[in-house]
Amino acid sequence: MEPKQIPVGTKRLNVVDVGTGPVILLGHGFPLSHAMWKYQIDGLANRFRIVAADLPGFGASPASQTPISMRGLADTLAGLLDAMGVTEPVAYCGLSMGGYVGWQFWKHHRDRLSHLIACDTRAAGDTEQVKRARNISAQSVMKTGANPVADSMVQKLFHDSDSASKQTIVGEVHRIIAQTDPASIATGQLAMAERPDATPWLSEIEIPTLFVVGEFDEITTPEEMKGNADLVSGSRFIQIENAGHMAPLENHVQFNWELMKFLDA
């Protein structure tokens, strides 16, 4: 399925829109693109309408002319649904940075949500130490370019990134990161550093919510996600086997199964 370019206000988003049925809106991680959802696009479009957008500055979506924020990205995705004529509530599934956008989507557009899926993400904001590290990395990527970022990130994103069975997906994710404009990587880091702590919102979430995390995720650990899940009444918490932070790519069979089970329940 070829992505199409859809105008959303002053922005233009590169979007895959495939399948029929209840809508699943997918929000990718940092600094990735809709391509990280390739197994969900392929595997779920026979039951659902999958809408997978590249956020501004990532994949094939042009960068925003104004500074981005997690709130702004959520507003842009709501604008995308308007532009596509999607009026019914959708299931939002966001990974890591896409999850940060998901909390904002719930906070500011909750009537548009039927389900929330928080995937390898966290509700807490950054510590001062993490904010400082993001500032340093935003400066350094402008000097080094994206390739060194790709080299170091793939080691952290995947569990067992050197294993032969993961070489294809590790290579694909490396390529996505290496092709990202360094300015978008820097802007993304600074936007994530500014995001608010969404933890106080968790106890107010009343829609069906799934927390799903790779059992070996070292960036957003199962322990931290379980702690978040415990604050959302009636939520479900699932660990994906043999997976790190890229659970939807590393074990798509279990991931898609859990997602379908949750949405069918």
Burial 128-154 (b: 16+ CB within 10 A, else e): eeebeebeebbeebeeeebeebbeebb
Tell me how far, at minimum, the Cβ of 189 lies from ligand MLT, in Å. 7
CB of residue 51 vs ligand MLT: minimum separation in angstroms? 19
Q: Is 76 in the site for ligand MLT (CB under 6 A)?
A: no
**One-letter identity of residue 41:** I
- Using CB under 6 A, count the residues that bind ligand MLT: 7
In angstroms, give the least distance from the CB of 144 to ligand MLT. 17
CA–CA separation, 110 and 23 (whole Å): 15
Binding flag, residue 91, ligand MLT (CB under 6 A): no
Burial state string for 93-119 with b = 16 or more CB within 10 A and e = fewer than 16:
bbbbbbbbbbbbbbbebeebbebbbbb
Q: Is 96 in the site for ligand MLT (CB under 6 A)?
A: yes
Task: Check binding of 113 to ligand MLT (CB under 6 A).
Answer: no
**Helix ranges, the chain (H):** 38-44, 70-84, 97-109, 128-144, 147-157, 167-178, 182-193, 199-202, 222-229, 247-250, 252-264
Residue 119 touches ligand MLT, criterion: CB under 6 A: no
The reply to whether 35 sits near ligand MLT by the rule CB under 6 A is: no
Q: Which of 113, 119, 219, 247 binds ligand MLT (CB under 6 A)?
A: 219
Toward ligand MLT, which CB reaches closer, 97 or 198?
97
Residue 97 near ligand MLT by CB under 6 A:
yes
- Which residue is listed with tokens 């026979």? 46
Determine if 30 is a binding residue for ligand MLT (CB under 6 A): yes
Residue 45 or 217: the one with the smaller Cβ distance to ligand MLT is 217
Nearer to ligand MLT, 15 or 95 (CB): 95
Between 33 and 84, CB nearer to ligand MLT: 33
Scan residues 125-184 and list those touching ligand MLT (CB under 6 A). none
Q: Using the minimum distance from each CB to ligand MLT, give the nearer residue, 90 or 97.
A: 97
What does 79-91 look like in DSSP terms, one character per residue?
HHHHHHT--S-EE
DSSP 8-state symbol, 233: T
| By the rule CB under 6 A, 243 interacts with ligand MLT | no
Tokens 């995720």 -> residue: 217
Question: Should residue 36 be labelled a site residue for ligand MLT when binding is judged by CB under 6 A?
Answer: no
Q: How far apart are CA 214 and CA 119, in angstroms?
A: 9
The residues of the shown chain that bind ligand MLT, judged by CB under 6 A, are: 29-30, 96-97, 192, 219, 245
